[in-house]
Structure formats: structure tokens, C-alpha cells
Structure 1
Amino acid sequence: MSNSKLAFVFPGQGSQKVGMLGDLAESYTVVKDTFAQASEALGYDLWKLVQEGPQEELNMTEVTQPALLTASVATWRVWQEKGGAKPEMMAGHSLGEWSALVCAGIVDFTDAVKLVRMRGQFMQEAVPAGIGAMAAIIGLDDSLVEEACTAAMAAEASNAQDIVSPVNYNSPGQLVIAGHAAAVERAMALCKDAGAKRALLLPVSAPFHTALMKPAADRLAEHIQSTAFESPSIPVVHNVTAQTLTDAEEIKAIMVAQIYSAVRWVACVNALTSAGIGTTVECGPGKVLSGLNKRIDRALNTLSTDSEDALSATLLALPEAGE
């Protein structure tokens, strides 16, 4: 099968930084126009916050989510304005899946901005601060991490209600776990005992993509149901199943499930390459996904758009691109 096809991938939380897209905005008015559209939906000046900070406020999940969505959509609009090649598929990591939905024509941008702000707010409110935790496990087979999580939940009968589970299958040898803080700590120790190179607590405020997020999903479900979704103009590989969907109602359901389900990024990238994708363009700030994708499949050509120079180089690198 030819591997010359192009996919766009969209980053999730962790890729935000104060000043992102500043240089693109100097050259392309569509960047500030996109942020103005988001600011109107949110009721505050998102561009000012993204450019001036403080970083602590930008890192609040109910701010981070609309900020990254807007940054990715603005970058996509620049790409279109420049006559860039149309990707044959899309995927996004966690929050980034919402960026993919907008750029694939599934959901209106303004609607998505409102939904992801609520998504962030509901996810934060689902578990009180200090109760949950997330940790990155480096250098251990997925199956051994999964076993450690199961063992950690069984370790102390007095904490039988504690949960910990794999939540981000990011790349071979990099798996994020999450759940109740005590259970995460036990799983980290078991992973180290099993030979993990590192087990690192992550500076996040809630155990995302675990069963503890079910209340957030239930709250967001009614808002998603009342929002218009369309069939995709470009197929999107979904985090939960690593498959594409065409039915708008099924996409609504999977975006609710995504909140409390693991992000199967390795499987998503493998689904792209199995469909003949040979190049991924990371659409938005940072190069996190480019790094992960290269570790998942060394044969992948990974390009980024996180600066004007990077965007120009990516446009030049793709033969169907415009100027």
C-alpha cells in the first residue's frame, strides 16, 4: 500500500504556552480573527491571555482547552489560506480530537469552543483537588503497567474503592496512568519494581480519562446532544476505538465516552499508517505529537506548524501545497 498520504494531527493539553502563535498572527490576520471569534463565545479576551499570561491561568484546564482548540483551528485556517494540501485523515490527542472535529467539518467552531470550556470545567469539578493524580511510566511494557494497576487496586482492602488505570497510550514505553492519588502511588512503586526506567507524577489537577471522569461526561452529554454535528468531510480516527465514524450521532456518543476512556494514541497512529498515511502534520503549538509519532513508527515523516518558519517549511515539503 502506498504510504504517501497525508494526515493532520492536533495536540492536547500540555502543548500550551504563553506567546503561542504570536509570530503567525503578525503575518496572518486570520489568527487574531479566529481568537476574536473564540473570545466572543467565551466572554473574555482569549488572545490577550494567550499572549500575556500568566502561565498559571493558561494552565487552568477550562482555559487551556479552548485556548489550544482555538490555536489549532487558527493554524488550520492559515494552512487553508496558503493553499496547503488537504489531508486524507485526521486525529487529535484527547482535547485535540475536538480540534480535529472542527477542522473536519463535524462541529461548528463557536459551538466547540463553548463545549470544550465546559469539558474542562466539568472535568476539573468531577474530582476535588488532591484526590486524584496522574503519572507517566517510562520504559515498561504496556502489559506490565496494566498488571501493576490491577495489583495496586487489589493491594489494600481498606482502599477497595480506589482506582488506577492506564489512560494515555502515548508511544511504546510511555504510558500514563491515573486515578486516586494513593492508588497511583502504589502503581508507580509496582512499575518501578517491574523494571520501569522512570515513574513520574505529572503536574495536572485531575485524573483525566478514568472512570472518575464519568460525572463530567454525564454533564457534558446533554450539551453535546443539543449541539449540531455533521458527517465528517475528512475522516477522523477516534481516541476511544482508533477507528473512524461517519454517523454524527455515533460521533457525539464517542466524544462523551472519550472523557472517561483511555486515549489509545499508539493505536490511532497505527490506524493512520495502516490506511497508507506516510506524513503527519502537527497542526497547532508544540511538537509533542511529532515526537510521539516518530517513536510509534520511525518510517513516518513528521512535520510541524508551531512557528511561521515551521509552517513555511511544511508547506514547501508537501508537493501538493501552494506557495
Structure 2
Amino acid sequence: MSILEGSNLAVATKTAFIFPGQGSQKVGMLAELAEQFSSVEATFAEASEAVGFDLWQIAQTGEGLNQTEFTQPVLLTASIALWRVWLELGGVTPKYLAGHSLGEYSALVAAGSLSLADAVKLVNLRGKLMQDAVPQGQGAMAAILGLDDAKVVELCQQASAEGKGSVEAANYNAQGQVVVAGSTAHVEAVMALAKENGAKAIALPVSVPSHCSLMKPAAEKFAEALEQTNIVMPNIPVIQNVNAEAAKDVNALRQALTAQLYQSVQWTKTLQYLQDQGVGFVAECGPGNVLSNLAKRLPNIEKALPLDTKSRMEDALNTILVAEGKIA
């Protein structure tokens, strides 16, 4: 696209778009919408040309879909395809954008900060570096449900003190839902401690322990690629994972993307920030509805709407256009 991704005249006053991260992928994603909107496959073709392999085939067949280096560009492309369909149908430009982990890159493309071609190359590299940073089987992640943030941090510190290695809070997803990441033995130790404290602990089916200090070697290499990539300030504010704030300049934006690899995703604070800014409507621009389900927990979010099927897209368009006063 020659125009900025986020350029649309009807700017929203109480709508935010949120973009999902790894784990939201599913075989056959966007197939239904692709039958009606040629821009879906055109977006995948554009991204595939940039990375040199067929992202649409991976998305539709599932072959390689759960390999991090492929998952990340496929998901980003799916999110941007949905974003383009939204604009094609006359959807309003949101007041804010935010993305969970990988989804932050999707948000930056939608905001015109990164080109789609540059973004898919970056996240393909990001996935490779993350996979290479920790040998297979030596890292893990788990969701801890039913404890407050401080207690989870305390259990991580307790487990880390008991031997070589570490485990940290990786994703603050919602009140009572924190994902931990680190060396496999230490993640398992936190799971056991959590259960002793009456919580649920669920091992996540991932091969990479994201958003913890084990990713620092990957971050150092990734920073070099970011420096060589053309990035401009977003034309829609993008709320960053590491601090739940919008970047003040491009240098701060690059630093936050680097730090995001080894620091916690502050998603609870991000959603709270959006709510505090008067956002009442949230659209999840990517496969599935994981993030919209989290957003529904907030008292002032009136509607949280996924966009990944024709009926969901139509529902979100009508609901948000009415809410924003664009149609009666």
C-alpha cells in the first residue's frame, strides 16, 4: 500500500484496536473472509514476497504454523489483512492501538510506523533468534490462575533462589492471570508452589520462554536489525507492552521493542490505560478472541469484538459505527 495503513477520515473517539500475539494462530484462519475480499490473499502475497516463503499456504495447511519463525509473520499478516478489510468496509480509524507481544508489530504496521514488508522480516528474524536463544526443552511457560501479581512474583523469586536458573513473570494478562517463563525446572517449581497456594497452573504448549531474561541474547542481536529498519512515529498512538505508554520518539520506540523480548508484557496496565482514556469499545484484529475475552473483564468496556469472520466483522462494524455516531 502506498498510503499509510492507518489513514482514514472517520477517526474514533472511544474505540481501540488490539492485536493478538503467538498462540492465536489456527489452521484455516481467514479462509472465509478471503472468499469475499481479495485484499486478504493480496496482503498475504505481499508479505510472502518479503520473507520468501508462502505465508498463506502455512496458514491454510498448518504445515510449520507452530514453528515460531513462521508463526510470527503469519499472525502479523493475518492481523493486517483484517485491518485492511476493516478500512475497506468503511470502519473508523481507532483512537488507540495496542498489541500483545508479537501483536505490537501488527499495531505499528496498522499505524503506519512500519511497512508490512519490513515488519514480517523483523518478526521472522525475531522468531528465529528467540528459538535459538534457548535450546529445545530447556525453557517453558505456564499460566498461573487465581493469585495476585505480587504473589506470583514472590513464588518466582522463591523458585529461582532454589537452584541454577530463573523464572519470571512474563505476561500480566489480567487480574488473577499471570504467565511465567524461564528454565523448565524452575517453571515447574512455580507451578507446584502455585498449586500449594490454591491456584491453578497450566503449562503452555510453547517451545520458547518469551519475555524473560533468557531472551537477552536474542534482544541484543535483534536490536541491530531494528536499527537498520525504517521506523517512523505512528499516526495512531500505539500503547507499548513494556510500559503501557505510547512512545515519545522513534528511539524510545526501538528501545521498547528490544526490551519487550526480555521484559514482562504489561497487558493488564495496557487495558486499564485504554479504559482510563475513555475507550469503551475494543476490536480484536487477528484470529480468535483471546484478547477480547480479557477486555470484557473491565467494567467500562461496553463491547469487546473479534473481527476474524464475516459475521464478527459485520457485527463489529455496525456496533462501533453506531457507538461513534457515524450511523444512526
Instruction: Give TM class, smaller chain.
Output: over 0.9
TM-score, with structure 1 as normaliser: 0.94
Give the AA of the match of 1:230. V
Separation in 2, partners of 1:127, 1:300: 41
Residue 72 (structure 1) aligned with residue 79 (structure 2):
yes
**Do the aligned partners of 2:112 and 2:234 also contact (CA within 8 Å) in 1?**
yes
Tell me the equivalent position of 1:163.
166
Amino acid at match of 1:264: Q
Letter in 2 for 1:249: N
TM-score normalized by structure 2?
Answer: 0.93
**1:284 CA drift (Å):** 1.3
> Identity of counterpart residues, as a percentage?
51
Secondary structure in 2 aligned to 1:271? helix
1:195 aligns with 2:170: no
User: How far did 1:201 drift?
Assistant: 1.1
> Given the alignment, which residue of 16, 19, 27 partners 1:18?
27
Moved more, 292-301 or 62-71: 292-301
Residue of structure 1 aligned with 2:103, choices 76, 85, 96: 96
Q: Which amino acid aligns with 1:40?
A: E
User: What is the Cα deviation at residue 46 of structure 1?
Assistant: 1.1
Q: 1:121-270 counterparts in 2 under 5 A? A: 121-155=128-162, 159=163, 161-196=164-199, 198-270=200-272
CA distance in 2, matches of 1:113, 1:78: 19
Listed one character per residue, the Cα deviations across residues 220-244 of structure 1 (whole Å, up to 9, x for unaligned) are 1101001111111000110000011
Q: Distance in 1 between matches of 2:301 and 2:80?
A: 27
* Aligned mate of 2:14, from 2, 5, 26: 5
Which whole-Å CA distance do the structure 2 matches of 1:300 and 1:256 have between them? Answer: 34
Aligned residues: 314
1:37 Cα shift? 0.6
What is the Cα deviation at residue 53 of structure 1?
2.0
Q: How far off is 1:4 after superposition?
A: 6.0
Q: 1:246: how far off?
A: 3.4
Structure 1 CA distance for aligned equivalents of residues 73 and 245 of structure 2: 25
Q: Does the 8 A contact of 1:11 with 1:289 survive in 2? A: yes
The correspondence for 1:285, drawn from 284, 287, 300, is: 287
Q: Does structure 2 conserve the Cα–Cα contact (< 8 Å) formed by 1:9 and 1:280?
A: yes
CA contact (8 A) 1:172 1:295 kept: no
- Give, in whole Å, the separation in 2 of the partners of 1:24 and 1:299: 27
Find the residue that maps to 1:318 and give its secondary structure.
helix
Task: Structure 2: give runs of 5+ residues left out of the alignment.
Answer: 1-11
Q: Is the 8 A contact 1:229 1:248 kept in 2?
A: yes
* Matched position secondary structure for 2:297: helix
